[in-house]
Amino acid sequence: MCGRFVLTLPDDEMARLFGAAPANDLPPVPNFNICPTNRVHAVVSDGAQRRLTAMRWGFLPHWYKTLTDGPLLINARAETIAEKPAFRAACRERRCILPATGFYEWTKDDAGNRLPWYIRPADGAPIAFAAVWQLWERGEERLVTCAIVTTGANDAMSAIHHRMPVTLAPDDYALWLGEDGKGAATLMSSAPEDRFVFHRVDAKVNSNRAHGADLIQPLVA
């Protein structure tokens, strides 16, 4: 799965990398501890133009009457996304990309303590999470919400967790965003074995109130 991530790219750099026009109300960066329900950067396309906009991380199906009417859907499983009522329309019609620098995952020790790991691309390149989005409206309340698509972990990542986010190569952005026709389902696979490297970090990142660049520094024994 993917439950926390990091974004350090400036807005103008993200706009350049994705060829997207930036909105005026984007969340502040850098952010070293992006948590569910936070506002996140997202790239969307109408087929003619890409936009870098803000969304709420935590997908709200249209039938939710309140923000807490059901489980918080921060991830969508690639294997079932086209069938699940919450995601199947979004999978066909409302795909987006969430930029990231890295993300966190957790293992447990023999005592059950949660041990955080920071995961980043081996080449230092930005990450493009495959995601889907949904407009949720109730009365005057209007939120654009999203979920990150996940798949089974590759062998390297399975040492930490059995799931991992679906990540896109630059040549795949247009297909995922619906600009190159159909076939986006072919992109929902695990990353190559050498795509990511990872290291343990301090347990203070377990708190959603923790912030700062020290969160991603290797843990010193």
> Amino acid letter at 8?
T
35 noted as active-site residue: no
Q: Which residue has the tokens 């921060």?
A: 74
Alpha-carbon span 195 to 8, nearest angstrom: 19
Beta strand 141-152 with 163-165 is: antiparallel
Q: 104-139 burial, b if ≥16 CB within 10 A, otherwise e?
A: bbbeeeeeeeeebbbbbbeeeebbbbbbbbbebeee
Which residue of the set 91, 96, 105, 146 is catalytic? 105
Nearest Cα residue to 2 out of 70, 74, 54, 57 = 74
| Side-chain-facing half-sphere of 129: CA atoms under 13 Å | 32
Q: Hey, what are 5's tokens?
A: 């991530």
105 noted as active-site residue: yes
Which residue of the set 2, 91, 96, 146 is catalytic? 2
Q: Is the peptide bond before 121 cis (omega within 30 degrees of 0)?
A: no
Residues annotated as catalytic are 2, 105
